[in-house]
């Protein structure tokens, strides 16, 4: 049977066919659908959302040590969080097969950076595979588990957004007879990484790399496609498809296993061709390794560039620049410069109420990663930093230590972000006597990545009921003396509480308690409308940045546009009505309800 699957769905299928027992992850675009697919379609596999990638990775290690093939998935920046266990797990090696997915995001479709994790695999000295379409995404999962067990190593599979989210045809096979559950071997010299043991394991790890170097020379996933051209191209991952698209009949060495690299195969390929060009996205990863192996004539990054995604167009332009392809930008239509359509907070989003108040109070807000990061966009512009998950709290503490108490620094982070890596930040605020106000924008879901459960939602990934974290008790237990819960869509209450907490000495935590308007349930209440005769065109409602509010064709005497509300978008959150001085915004009168 063949089916049209995304790269992520194909990974899930591969995991199922490989007889995997356990899968753990923290969500992150573009990796999220892998575990969602497993939870939905392959119910025999235990799977969980862990609070963060480090825990997910450690759960996966546990699964492997316990004797079941295990999978851990994350987006590229997730590997930074999981780096600590990874670096040492590479020393110990596995019991049952262990594979982790790094889903990189060239072009930052939904990320804060575009780090190239191929370099990370090399740093950790773990082999990695790089699929170039959905079919390979499935096949390479089976291969990755084989390599993991045969060479006693964690294995990375490196996806990119284009591979994860593009669909292609995939052959379905039956699950293999996965190796029998292996007993955990209480071998302290292998699994207890005290210095004496680790020194010995480091040697084992280097020997493993030598054996892998031999293996990759013969692997079917590294291959040469010959047409007899003088030009040879070395490429892998999605770039391979672009090369085939623009130069279908050029000799290609396709890299499927990117660490260690098949240097003998590459050496022969380089010798056999007059000119060799490397086509790879982001960093000169292949290029640096090939050049440092003495093949200094190969070319690459001078043509392809180091930022963003490649595309057929960019590859063709690069090859034109290299003088090996006659290509110019095709004729077509020029739309001219277009307005931007930036992502924004949804109509009715509870985060909007919070940011409207923070903006009014002119506070410096250290931010974090989630939907609420959109508080930084126009017209709110009420969030002023965003680095990595959990950073807001430490940033606020440091800023306040430098600028002095009373500088009015507020940290804002979401519920999932707080559980991911905010708890230790609160601990620091208490321990080191910070005066910051930490606001947990709790919308009861991991909204940005599509509404996943987390430890405070009361449900697991597999759909079971479970305990919910109590944020108030948790923060009190960490030593915060003032923990307050507010309705972020109540403007006056939010204003009062934030002001009081800013003035109070010592750290405080404010928790908002309105759920996301989209997930898990769409919230739609009676919409509001503008009484145009009452509207004075002051534009206060425009400045909260609600997609449901737009300028009317009707103008005030002074030529300012009045406001109108799109009834199909308005969720009835009331925020605009609360800030409208002339009280021109009112609940829509629904005829049949009048008089009842």
Partner 1 sequence: MYENMTNILIVGVGGQGVLLASELLSEVAIMTGNDVKKSEVHGMSQRGGVVSSHVRYGSQVFSPIIPYRKADIILSFEQSEGLRALDWLLPEGKIIVSRTRLVPPSAHLGGLGYPDDPIAEIKAKNADMIAVDADKMALELGNPRLVNTILLAVASPFLKFEKAVWQEAIRKLVKPKFVEINLKAFDLGCDLAQPKSVA
CB atoms within 10 A of CB 519: 16
Characterize 545-580 residue by residue with b for buried, 16 or more Cβ atoms within 10 angstroms of its Cβ, and e for exposed. Answer: bbebbeebeeeeeeeebbbbbeeebbbbbbbbbbbb
Q: Which of 310, 448, 480, 541 binds ligand TPP (CB under 6 A)?
A: 448
Q: Residue 370 binds what, of ligand TPP, partner 1, none (CB under 5 to 8 Å, by partner type)?
A: ligand TPP
Grouping H, G, I as helix, E, B as strand and the rest as coil, residue 525 is coil
Choosing from 542, 556, 572, 587, the residue that interacts with partner 1 (CB under 8 A) is: 542
Alpha-carbon span 116 to 302, nearest angstrom: 18
Scanning residues 346 to 385, which ones bind ligand TPP (CB under 6 A)?
369-372
416 binds, among ligand TPP, partner 1, none (CB under 5 to 8 A by kind): ligand TPP
Distance set, CA 377 to CA 369, 380, 516 (Å)? 13, 6, 19
Residue 293 CA to residue 278 CA, distance in Å, equals 15
Residue 519 Cβ, how far from ligand TPP at the closest point, in Å?
Answer: 9
414 binds ligand TPP (CB under 6 A): yes
Query: Which residue, judged by CB position, is nearest to ligand TPP in the bound state?
Result: 414
Q: Which of 529, 516, 539, 541 is nearest to 566 (CA)?
A: 529
Smallest distance, Å, CB 446 to partner 1?
13
The reply to whether 444 sits near partner 1 by the rule CB under 8 A is no
| Sequence-distant contacts of 497-506: CB under 8 A, at least 24 apart | 498/357, 498/358, 498/361, 498/363, 498/410, 498/437, 498/439, 499/361, 501/437, 502/361, 502/363, 502/408, 502/410, 502/437, 505/405, 505/435, 506/433, 506/435, 506/481, 506/482
In the set 149, 281, 309, 415, which binds ligand TPP (CB under 6 A)?
A: 415
Residue placing its CB nearer to partner 1 in the complex, 309 or 453:
309
Instruction: Considering only residues 341 through 400, tell me which ones interact with partner 1, judged by CB under 8 A.
Output: 341-346, 371, 374, 377-379
Burial label for 58, CB within 10 Å (0-12, 13-18, 19+), is middle
Q: Is 328 in the site for partner 1 (CB under 8 A)?
A: no
Q: Can residue 559 be called a binding residue for partner 1 (CB under 8 A)? A: no
Q: Could you tell me the smallest distance in angstroms from the CB atom of residue 556 to partner 1?
A: 16
Minimum distance from CB of 445 to ligand TPP (Å)? 6
* CB 105, min distance to partner 1, A: 8
17-36 residues in contact with ligand TPP (CB under 6 A) are 26-28
Phi-psi region of 444 (alpha: psi -120 to 50; beta: other; left: phi over 0): left
Residue number, 228 or 336, with CB nearest to partner 1 = 336
Give the alpha-carbon dihedral of 160, 164, 165, 169, to 10 degrees.
130
Q: Which two tokens stand for residue 270?
A: 């380089």
CA R_g for the chain: 27
168 binds partner 1 (CB under 8 A): yes
Length of the chain as a residue count: 596
Instruction: Name the residue nearer to ligand TPP (CB basis): 347 or 414.
Output: 414
With b for 16 or more beta-carbon neighbours within 10 A and e for fewer, the 280-311 pattern comes to bbbbbbbbebbbeeebeebebbebbeeeebbb
392: partner contacted, choices ligand TPP, partner 1, none (Cβ within 5-8 A by kind): none
Q: Which stretch binds ligand TPP (CB under 6 A): 174-182, 187-195, 247-255, 410-418?
A: 410-418
Largest Cα–Cα separation, the chain: 89
- Count, residues near ligand TPP per rule CB under 6 A: 24
Q: Indicate which of partner 1, ligand TPP, none lies near residue 445 (CB less than 5 to 8 Å, by partner kind).
A: ligand TPP
Could you list the residues that contact ligand TPP (CB under 6 A)?
26-28, 53, 75, 77-78, 81, 369-372, 389, 414-417, 441, 443, 445-449
Could you list the residues that contact partner 1 (CB under 8 A)?
4, 29-30, 109-110, 133, 161-162, 165-169, 238, 241-242, 244-246, 248, 311-313, 316, 329-346, 371, 374, 377-379, 450, 542, 545-547, 549-551
């Amino acid at each position: 049977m063949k089916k049209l699957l995304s790269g992520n769905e194909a990974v899930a299928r591969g995991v199922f066919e490989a007889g995997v027992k356990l899968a753990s992850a923290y969500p992150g675009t573009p990796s999220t659908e892998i575990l969602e697919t497993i939870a939905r379609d392959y119910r025999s596999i235990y799977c969980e959302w862990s609070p963060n990638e480090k825990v997910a990775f450690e759960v996966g290690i546990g699964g492997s040590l316990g004797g079941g093939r295990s999978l851990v998935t994350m987006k590229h920046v997730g590997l930074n969080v999981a780096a600590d266990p990874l670096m040492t797990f590479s020393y110990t090696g596995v019991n049952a097969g262990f594979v982790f997915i790094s889903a990189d995001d060239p072009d930052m479709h939904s990320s804060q950076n575009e780090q190239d994790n191929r370099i990370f695999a090399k740093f950790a000295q773990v082999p990695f595979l790089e699929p170039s379409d959905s079919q390979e995404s499935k096949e390479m999962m089976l291969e990755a588990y084989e390599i993991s067990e045969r060479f006693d190593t964690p294995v990375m599979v490196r996806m990119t957004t284009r591979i994860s989210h593009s669909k292609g045809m995939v052959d379905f096979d039956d699950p293999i007879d996965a190796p029998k559950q292996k007993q955990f071997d209480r071998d302290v010299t292998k699994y207890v990484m005290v210095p004496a043991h680790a020194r010995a394991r480091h040697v084992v790890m280097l020997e493993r790399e030598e054996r892998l170097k031999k293996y990759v020379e013969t692997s079917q996933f590294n291959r040469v496609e010959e047409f007899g051209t003088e030009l040879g191209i070395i490429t892998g991952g999605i770039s391979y498809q672009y090369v085939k698209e623009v130069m279908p009949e050029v000799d290609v060495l396709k890299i499927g296993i990117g660490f260690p690299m098949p240097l003998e195969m590459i050496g022969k390929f380089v010798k056999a061709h007059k000119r060799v060009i490397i086509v790879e996205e982001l960093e000169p990863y292949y290029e640096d390794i090939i050049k440092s192996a003495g093949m200094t004539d190969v070319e690459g990054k001078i043509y392809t560039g180091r930022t963003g995604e490649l595309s057929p167009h960019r590859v063709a332009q690069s090859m034109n620049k290299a003088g090996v392809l006659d290509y110019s930008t095709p004729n077509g239509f020029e739309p001219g410069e277009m307005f931007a359509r930036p992502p924004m907070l949804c109509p009715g989003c509870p985060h909007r109420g919070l940011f409207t108040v923070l903006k009014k109070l002119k506070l410096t807000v250290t931010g974090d990663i989630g939907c609420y990061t959109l508080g930084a966009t126009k017209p709110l512009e009420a969030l002023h930093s965003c680095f990595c998950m959990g950073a807001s709290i430490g940033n606020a503490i440091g800023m306040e230590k430098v600028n002095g108490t009373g500088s009015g620094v507020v940290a804002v982070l979401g519920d999932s972000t707080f559980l991911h890596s905010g708890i230790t930040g609160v601990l620091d605020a208490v321990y080191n006597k910070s005066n910051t106000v930490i606001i947990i924008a709790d919308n009861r879901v991991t909204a940005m990545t599509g509404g996943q459960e987390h430890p405070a939602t009361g449900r697991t990934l597999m759909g079971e009921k479970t305990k919910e974290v109590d944020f108030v008790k948790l923060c009190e237990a960490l030593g915060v003396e003032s923990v307050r819960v507010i309705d972020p869509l109540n403007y006056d209450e939010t204003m009062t509480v934030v002001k009081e907490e800013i003035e109070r000495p010592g750290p405080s935590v404010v928790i908002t308690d309105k759920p996301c308007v989209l997930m898990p349930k769409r919230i739609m209440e009676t919409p509001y409308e503008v009484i145009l005769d009452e509207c004075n065109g002051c534009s206060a409602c425009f400045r909260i940045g609600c997609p449901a509010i737009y300028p009317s064709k009707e103008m005030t005497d002074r030529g300012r546009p009045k406001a109108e509300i799109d009834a199909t978008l308005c969720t009835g959150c009331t925020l605009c009505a609360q800030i409208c001085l002339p009280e021109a915004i009112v609940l829509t009168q629904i005829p049949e309800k009048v008089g009842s």
